[in-house]
Structure 1
């Protein structure tokens, strides 16, 4: 079949698009990209598209070898983005556009959260110094557009000239145009099944029943990745995946000076930091919440919407309530059980995985795509197999460390969202309550491996028992949780 592709890439978010781009650059490679054009619930289409790994640093980034390896993928992406931006700028000019790129970021530390904010802010400063990246401490009154309420003002702020953002939706459109020019076939379809024949991958089955055939398939389907992999792999071969549901909005400024840089807080309790990305002509992206869910969501909630509206008015721009809401965005970040990427070959020959990037997918995409393209061509990738998709969960914490981390994150989140503790009660009592909540979950489930605070928050507040059932089934099969008494 002359039109048969060499590789099918499933997923048309940033990872899928960049991977198709890298594969198409390989001499003679025929590539098909499959994904619904509207990208419902996709992380990339909803993202603020910040380009940087230092603003995402936390106190735990370098605590494990896996954390360091994940950070270094971000450094590899940093090296590639200048050339990517030049390439996209050329395509934009051909299309009568101007590529939107914000070249720098301010990180602000205010008193609206808890001690976690300070710990992560200091970690950002330490990492910038360690890697000798340009930055400087600045006065908070020197940040263009920044006008918080007095009780939400920053106490410290830094400026990073090497980290910024792009308009994620513009970049998606420009990448698609470049793919069309390079001969990549784009299918506006959803994939229902990875087809395996004679023990090897044979293609994918679309929702309408059509089968696209190829000897190599890359599954870069975001939060749907593990769901698709279950159609081809044995149960439990790949760890469960959760959806980090984020709600953001785009506003149109009605008055006052616009923001000129990305302005963000450090990462916060169970989530990324509050951030604002200027999109040009008075449009501003404001994000984003993070609530782990067992299933992808396409609609936000009143609670998440009200939280972000309150936070932006208090912490970034107290005139924000007068601005026009242009668009609400909801996206699902792909979150593996251990919080690290799923990258590499599976046990089925020809089946490759590229997902689990959580908050780093857009920024890391050029590096991960180059790594995947090299491995698909039979060459060494950019890094080793530390994030192989068939691994058992990477252990970042012991159980008691996980309990303490959960209590720290949830206490910080309580105050970030405006919670109050009566004056006669110490905030330590609140922290103790969260400790007991986490310990109770571990006792009830028999889980013996420490999990991230965001995963614990999902499980302690799970409205859908199926989420806990799937996770426990996997952990018990992997020997990471005790079997119930009746099964022993």
Structure 2
């Protein structure tokens, strides 16, 4: 039983020992099947096993894990540094509260995994956030971050940029903010440690394959896999990232009524650098992304990230584009450390972050009593993993206990109106267009903002083929990150 769990586990309805098999040797039965082998799926399986349930994980154990967000993540535990000055205060209070709840028990969670796996897992404490001339809202964002941290009883200390270890930018930094209660972790080491625990656990089976279809069979959920096997379960946890809801058979999808998911495609790099970096360094969020950041990985290796491009139909096989890599290297060299130009490239990673239309995660029971979600975490999946696991497990072992949670898949979603969003988001659009490191003549940044705002308003209200196509795309992804796609769509249509 996990310390801090909010309920006493009890067997779910129609529980069947996982050791039983039906007549077909490729069919298995279990209490809970977890579809997906990213961090959220493995964390949920780990939590369910601690509640004396039999678990089957269906997802890749080997291979390159193409497109998986967990292994491509920077894994900064950014409770406060994702806050922006323009964010709604009630929304900030909600999200920071949930992130802080996850952060509070993170060390204990790592200790449990480390003990069970016999692997050393550690957090690197602290995150630096710096501001510079590239971000017109940086100063306001740093103050919003600091005020939010102090409101929640955590430290936030302003310092001279010269005091930031590893910071040697081309563009002069104006301010630096030290957040000692944030941290970073190596997500690959964490995922492998969890995998070691699960594969050795006597009540866990891991099928090294992918889910193809989920359907209902009698009193159980049936999960069909690419290797021809089928798992029958009393409960299913869908934790397959941005592709989660596409696994459901049409008749079942109607009952589940899962909110739509989109992908925030991110490209990141691993590099060996000629300088020391004891703690993560980042800029505030910018241009619909999380800014430039360097995260130490040990032995002179750093993680450099990350881009963010919204996709309504993610292609997990698509490799990184050269302009994505160029943006990473140029911006990080200019804003964080010029010696990155001399770094040795180790690996390029591509991950698809699952994101909902209202940007809040999906944790817990859906409209179908046997199907639960653990996805939609966007840029906070590594931080929220243990918290998500408890919420999902509570929904299984204590039905109804999480129905009113703000991250419930059954919540009402409040989506923005395109005209309202255009008024407040064109600055981010211009920032994105100017990457990597583009400079506009004085005064033209605001001029371009006003022009784009007017043009997008015209498209939103127009009747032309171009306007209709833009509105159709917006209906599929009504969120700020869609604005670059709208601009691209408007330019392609003749």
State the TM-score, normalizing by the size of structure 1.
0.86
The 5 Å alignment of 1:118-157 reads 118-149=139-170, 152-157=171-176
Per-residue CA deviations over 1:291-342 (Å, capped at 9, x if unaligned) read 0112223411111110001011111110111110001010000011222222
Query: 1 CA distance for matches of 2:491 and 2:266?
Result: 19
Query: 1 CA distance for matches of 2:304 and 2:260?
Result: 30
Instruction: Give the corresponding residue for 2:321.
Output: 301
Instruction: Give the corresponding residue for 2:5.
Output: none
Given that residues 23 and 31 in structure 1 are in contact (C-alpha distance below 8 angstroms), is that contact kept between their aligned partners in structure 2?
Answer: yes
The 5 Å alignment of 1:42-441 reads 42-65=68-91, 67-91=92-116, 94-95=118-119, 98-115=120-137, 117-149=138-170, 152-183=171-202, 184-198=204-218, 201-229=220-248, 231=250, 232-234=252-254, 237-253=257-273, 255=274, 257-296=275-314, 297-298=316-317, 299-378=319-398, 381=401, 384-395=404-415, 397-423=416-442, 426-441=444-459
Greater CA drift, 272-281 or 292-301: 292-301
Given that residues 202 and 215 in structure 1 are in contact (C-alpha distance below 8 angstroms), is that contact kept between their aligned partners in structure 2?
Answer: yes
Greater CA drift, 449-458 or 214-223: 449-458
Given that residues 238 and 391 in structure 1 are in contact (C-alpha distance below 8 angstroms), is that contact kept between their aligned partners in structure 2?
Answer: no
Offset at 1:144?
A: 1.4
SS at match of 1:269: coil
Cα–Cα, structure 1 residues 146 and 331, in superposed 2: closer, same or farther, change >3 Å? same
Cα–Cα, structure 1 residues 459 and 91, in superposed 2: closer, same or farther, change >3 Å? farther
Show structure 2 runs of 5+ residues with no match. Answer: 1-15, 20-28, 462-466
Query: 2 CA distance for matches of 1:154 and 1:120?
Result: 14
Query: 2 CA distance for matches of 1:455 and 1:131?
Result: 32
Query: 1 CA distance for matches of 2:244 and 2:357?
Result: 13
SS at match of 1:331: strand
Given that residues 255 and 367 in structure 2 are in contact (C-alpha distance below 8 angstroms), is that contact kept between their aligned partners in structure 1?
Answer: no
Given that residues 5 and 213 in structure 1 are in contact (C-alpha distance below 8 angstroms), is that contact kept between their aligned partners in structure 2?
Answer: yes
Cα–Cα, structure 1 residues 60 and 219, in superposed 2: closer, same or farther, change >3 Å? farther
Offset at 1:235?
A: 9.2
Instruction: Give the corresponding residue for 2:488.
Output: 461
Query: 1 CA distance for matches of 2:477 and 2:193?
Result: 42
Flag as ranges the 4+ runs of structure 1 deviating above 6 A. 446-450
Instruction: Give the corresponding residue for 1:24.
Output: 49
Cα–Cα, structure 1 residues 323 and 449, in superposed 2: closer, same or farther, change >3 Å? closer
SS at match of 2:341: helix
Given that residues 167 and 279 in structure 1 are in contact (C-alpha distance below 8 angstroms), is that contact kept between their aligned partners in structure 2?
Answer: yes
Given that residues 215 and 249 in structure 2 are in contact (C-alpha distance below 8 angstroms), is that contact kept between their aligned partners in structure 1?
Answer: no
Query: 1 CA distance for matches of 2:490 and 2:108?
Result: 45
Query: 2 CA distance for matches of 1:463 and 1:204?
Result: 41
Given that residues 35 and 190 in structure 1 are in contact (C-alpha distance below 8 angstroms), is that contact kept between their aligned partners in structure 2?
Answer: yes
Query: 2 CA distance for matches of 1:167 and 1:242?
Result: 25
Per-residue CA deviations over 1:411-465 (Å, capped at 9, x if unaligned) read 2334453233345x63221101221343244333287999431023234325999
Per-residue CA deviations over 1:346-380 (Å, capped at 9, x if unaligned) read 22230111211111111111111101101110256
Matched, 1:15 2:33: no
Query: 1 CA distance for matches of 2:139 and 2:383?
Result: 24
Given that residues 265 and 275 in structure 1 are in contact (C-alpha distance below 8 angstroms), is that contact kept between their aligned partners in structure 2?
Answer: yes
SS at match of 1:311: helix
Cα–Cα, structure 1 residues 157 and 233, in superposed 2: closer, same or farther, change >3 Å? same
SS at match of 1:284: strand
Offset at 1:54?
A: 0.7
Given that residues 13 and 172 in structure 1 are in contact (C-alpha distance below 8 angstroms), is that contact kept between their aligned partners in structure 2?
Answer: yes
Query: 2 CA distance for matches of 1:229 and 1:14?
Result: 21
Query: 1 CA distance for matches of 2:116 and 2:453?
Result: 52
SS at match of 1:214: strand
SS at match of 2:147: helix
Given that residues 243 and 333 in structure 1 are in contact (C-alpha distance below 8 angstroms), is that contact kept between their aligned partners in structure 2?
Answer: yes
Query: 2 CA distance for matches of 1:223 and 1:190?
Result: 14
Offset at 1:69?
A: 2.6
Greater CA drift, 439-448 or 334-343: 439-448
Task: Kindly report the root-mean-square deviation, in angstroms, between the aligned alpha carbons of the 2 structures.
Answer: 2.5
